[in-house]
């Protein structure tokens, strides 16, 4: 085993040695802000991505669930990495390597054609199934209040406004679909003009508009043409349309803003925290 694998727990190293004996690390893709190790490894002439969670990790289990239940529309056409091995107890997952460069920060970051493909891909995920959940909206309200109860740097007056607004929100039944949870260019790969998807650690059943939120406050804000292209892809089938409805969309934006500001503060990501505070200000002002 390469020395880089020592960042994995003993259990993870042993499991990986069973799955990919003699694997060597080609590149460390770890983000650094959370206790998740992401390694590109080679074994028997093939390339894989190894993702290992820390003691408090909940993302690996989500990622495994997504691979086993929701990703076939993408993996079946080579638009997402296929699962090779996984162990929820060891918090370890191995997927086949998917070639490509991140769209974020690259030459394609402002290309509407890329966003149209991303919209098409997202529609494939969302339209697999839908379930009605009578308690979803209340759970999301409660989660936002827990973020506000925890450590953050949101001003006290703003916290009071947020709490007052959340208290007025209705809690209707919600039609939930499989969502990615972090749908934005940092999780899109581009290879030979084709977009594919990575990182499913936040995948869960949610309202479909939650997968629009991060694009809305970043990329769509920067260039409305990207939003138009994305929506054209998402709604390429006439049966599909923009799922954002004004009242529900506002709730989504406010929840996303609170979670961004609080989470980023807790992990020490000041740039992302600043974005969260801007998101809160925009949401309270009625914009995106």
CATH number of 3-96: 3.30.200
Whether 284 has a pLDDT exceeding 80, the answer reads: yes
If we measure between CA atoms, which residue out of 138, 126, 143, 103 comes closest to residue 207? 126
Q: Which residue intervals of the chain are DSSP H helices?
A: 10-19, 59-69, 72-75, 112-126, 136-149, 156-168, 213-217, 219-222, 224-234, 246-267, 270-285
Mean pLDDT of all residues in 85-95 = 97
**What sign for the dihedral angle of Cα 105, 220, 223, 231?**
positive
If we measure between CA atoms, which residue out of 41, 56, 58, 50 comes closest to residue 85? 50
In contact, 1 and 23? CB cutoff 8 Å: yes
Supply the pLDDT for residue 236: 67
225-275 residue pLDDT tens: 999 999 999 996 655 667 888 899 999 999 999 999 999 999 999 999 999
Mean pLDDT of all residues in 275-286 = 92
Supply the pLDDT for residue 1: 43
Confidence class for position 6, pLDDT limits 50, 70, 90: confident
Model's pTM, two decimal places? 0.92
Whether 147 has a pLDDT exceeding 60, the answer reads: yes
Confidence class for position 57, pLDDT limits 50, 70, 90: confident
Supply the pLDDT for residue 4: 72
Supply the pLDDT for residue 244: 87
- Could you tell me the two tokens for 224? 């409305």
Whether 2 has a pLDDT exceeding 60, the answer reads: no
Domains in the chain: boundaries: 3-96, 102-285
Phi and psi of 180, rounded to 5°?
-75, -45
Give domain 102-285's CATH superfamily.
Answer: Aminoglycoside phosphotransferase (APH), C-terminal lobe (3.90.1200.10)
Supply the pLDDT for residue 123: 95
In contact, 69 and 179? CB cutoff 8 Å: no
153-198 residue pLDDT tens: 999 999 999 999 999 999 999 999 999 999 999 999 999 999 999 9
């Amino acid at each position: 085993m390469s020395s880089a694998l020592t960042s994995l727990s003993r259990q993870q190293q042993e499991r990986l040695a069973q799955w990919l004996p003699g694997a060597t690390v080609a590149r460390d893709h770890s983000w650094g802000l959370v206790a998740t190790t992401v390694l590109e490894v080679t074994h028997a002439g093939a390339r894989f991505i190894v993702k290992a969670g820390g003691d408090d990790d909940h993302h690996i289990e989500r990622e495994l669930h997504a691979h086993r239940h929701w990703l076939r529309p993408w993996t079946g056409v080579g638009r997402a990495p296929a699962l090779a091995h996984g162990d929820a107890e060891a918090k370890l997952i191995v997927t086949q390597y998917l070639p490509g460069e991140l769209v974020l920060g690259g030459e394609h970051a402002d290309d509407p054609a890329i966003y149209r493909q991303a919209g098409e891909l997202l529609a494939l995920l969302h339209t697999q199934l839908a379930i009605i959940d009578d308690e979803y909206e209340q759970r999301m309200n409660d989660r936002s209040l827990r973020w506000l109860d925890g450590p953050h740097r949101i001003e006290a007056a703003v916290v009071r406004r947020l709490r007052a607004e959340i208290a007025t929100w209705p809690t209707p039944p919600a039609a939930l679909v499989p969502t990615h949870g972090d749908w934005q260019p940092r999780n899109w790969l581009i290879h030979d003009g084709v977009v594919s998807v990575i990182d499913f650690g936040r995948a869960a059943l949610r309202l479909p508009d939650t997968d629009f939120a991060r694009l809305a406050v970043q990329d769509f804000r920067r260039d409305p043409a990207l939003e138009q292209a994305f929506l054209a892809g998402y709604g390429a089938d006439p049966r599909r349309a923009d799922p954002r409805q004004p009242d529900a969309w506002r709730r989504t934006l406010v929840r996303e803003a609170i979670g961004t500001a609080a989470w980023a503060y807790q992990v020490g990501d000041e740039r992302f925290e600043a974005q969260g505070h801007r998101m809160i200000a925009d949401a309270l002002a009625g914009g995106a």
